[in-house]
């Protein structure tokens, strides 16, 4: 009889533990197969392991705001303890995010959406301010002597990326020249950049907004001289190019932290009601250059940078 009650209490205790476990759903606009977002997901998983929270990571198969809104709605309907979202387009996702807040689900945003997060009822945003990051890139290129540059946008309609390009051209002090390309089409990206350079041989600066565009652009620039090339975000190929001085800089927003910190923040908020005082937790921008690229390579191999 004593053994029976011991087993019963053990089962009841396990059930109570599961019931008390914090469950967090993460909905991002970027796929975990992307080199940038795979590092975000690594941060999510590390935080889940450390906090003991049960975390589910969801994303549309392509950049698709309708589908992303549906994923947020489905997450809200499942009544999680908390929700993490990226906000590449505040207007497209506003209804879904507000529905989560009205349902009493605490929401933290990551990566994109620093400009709209608070107005949507989001508790904290973890990331960088996109316009200022682009501004820094433009100012850095201007200091390098760049006079005529192009900005390669692989997700037209992503407000965060639009802000990066705007800041870039403001920092340079020149008229915007944005080249739209399609994510997942490296050949198309390479050809679009090659065509732009052929059409205007005075172009002496190129900025890409992520590694998925940076890698084919490296191919387009092969053998060309006098062009300053920078990108947002890191990948093994970008770090190799930096170490070989084929690129001037990469803007590092420490995306591992963008996955990691929201889980830690929400776990503590759900359990203890604790919340950082700052509405935006800045993870960038920082600049990786040929001079310090070697320091980042090892962490990149580990999926942290």
Question: Using alpha carbons only, what angle is made at residue 37 by residues 44 and 67, rounded to the nearest 5 degrees?
Answer: 95
Give me the pLDDT at residue 16, please.
40
Q: What share of the chain in percent tops pLDDT 70?
A: 94
Confidence category of residue 7, pLDDT binned at 50, 70, 90:
low
Give me the pLDDT at residue 299, please.
82
User: DSSP for 226-271?
Assistant: S-EEEEES--HHHHHHHHTTS-SEEEE--HHHHHHHHHHHHHHHHH
Instruction: Enter the pTM of the model.
Output: 0.80
CATH code for the part of the protein at 130-252: 3.40.50.2300
Give me the pLDDT at residue 176, please.
97
Give me the pLDDT at residue 17, please.
46
State the average pLDDT for the chain: 92
Report the distance separating Cα 84 and Cα 56, nearest Å: 10
Give me the phi and psi of 293, to 5 degrees please.
Answer: -60, -40
Say whether pLDDT at 77 is over 80. Answer: yes
| Alpha helices for the chain (secondary structure H) | 2-20, 35-51, 65-77, 90-102, 130-143, 159-172, 186-199, 211-220, 236-243, 255-272, 293-301
CB 263 within 8 A of CB 242: no
Name the CATH superfamily, with its identifier, for domain 2-128+254-274. Answer: Response regulator (3.40.50.2300)
Give me the pLDDT at residue 15, please.
47
Domain definitions of the chain by residue range: 2-128+254-274, 130-252
CB 111 within 8 A of CB 127: yes
Q: What is the dihedral of CA 238, 129, 82, 90, to 10 degrees?
A: -110
Give me the pLDDT at residue 302, please.
85
pLDDT digits (tens, 9 = 90+) for 24-64: 999 999 988 888 899 999 999 999 999 999 999 999 999 89
Give me the pLDDT at residue 10, please.
54
Report the distance separating Cα 286 and Cα 252, nearest Å: 5
Alpha carbon distances (Å) from 4 to 8, 9, 270: 6, 9, 34
> What do you get for the CA distance between the two ends of the chain, in Å?
56
Say whether pLDDT at 80 is over 70. Answer: yes
Find, among 67, 80, 81, the residue nearest to 28 by Cα. Answer: 67
Please indicate whether the domains covering 2-128+254-274 and 130-252 agree at the CATH topology level: yes
Give me the pLDDT at residue 88, please.
93
Give me the pLDDT at residue 54, please.
98
CB-neighbour burial class of residue 14 (10 A; exposed 0-12, middle 13-18, buried 19+): exposed
Give me the pLDDT at residue 13, please.
52
pLDDT digits (tens, 9 = 90+) for 139-149: 999 999 999 99
| DSSP SS3 for 161 | helix
Report the distance separating Cα 80 and Cα 88, nearest Å: 22
Sign of CA dihedral 123, 74, 64, 98: negative
Average pLDDT over every residue of 173-181? 97
């Amino acid at each position: 009889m004593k053994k029976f009650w011991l087993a019963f209490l053990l089962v009841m205790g396990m059930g109570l533990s599961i019931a008390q476990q914090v469950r967090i759903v993460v909905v991002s606009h970027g796929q975990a197969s992307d080199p940038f977002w795979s590092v975000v997901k690594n941060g999510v998983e590390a935080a889940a392991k450390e906090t003991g929270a049960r975390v589910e990571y969801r994303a549309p198969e392509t950049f698709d705001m309708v589908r992303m809104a549906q994923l947020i709605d489905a997450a809200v309907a499942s009544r999680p303890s908390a929700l993490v979202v990226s906000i590449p387009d505040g207007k497209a996702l506003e209804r879904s995010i507000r529905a989560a807040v009205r349902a009493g689900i605490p929401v933290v945003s990551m990566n994109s959406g620093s400009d709209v997060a608070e107005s949507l009822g989001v508790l904290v945003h973890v990331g960088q301010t996109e316009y200022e990051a682009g501004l820094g890139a433009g100012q850095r290129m201007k200091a390098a002597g760049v006079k005529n540059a192009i900005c390669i946008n692989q997700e037209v309609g992503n407000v965060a990326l639009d802000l990066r390009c705007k800041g870039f051209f403001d920092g340079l002090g020149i008229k915007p020249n944005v080249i739209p390309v399609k994510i997942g089409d490296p050949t198309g990206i390479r050809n679009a950049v090659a065509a732009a350079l052929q059409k205007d041989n005075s172009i002496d600066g190129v900025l890409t907004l992520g590694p998925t565009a940076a890698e084919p652009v490296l191919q387009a620039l092969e053998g060309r001289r006098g062009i300053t090339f920078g990108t947002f975000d890191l990948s093994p190929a970008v770090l190799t190019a930096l170490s070989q001085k084929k690129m001037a800089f990469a803007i590092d927003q420490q995306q591992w932290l963008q996955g990691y910190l929201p889980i830690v923040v929400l776990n503590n908020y759900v359990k203890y009601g604790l919340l950082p005082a700052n509405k935006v937790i800045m993870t960038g921008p920082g600049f990786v250059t040929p001079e310090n690229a070697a320091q980042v390579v090892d962490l990149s191999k580990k999926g942290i940078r």
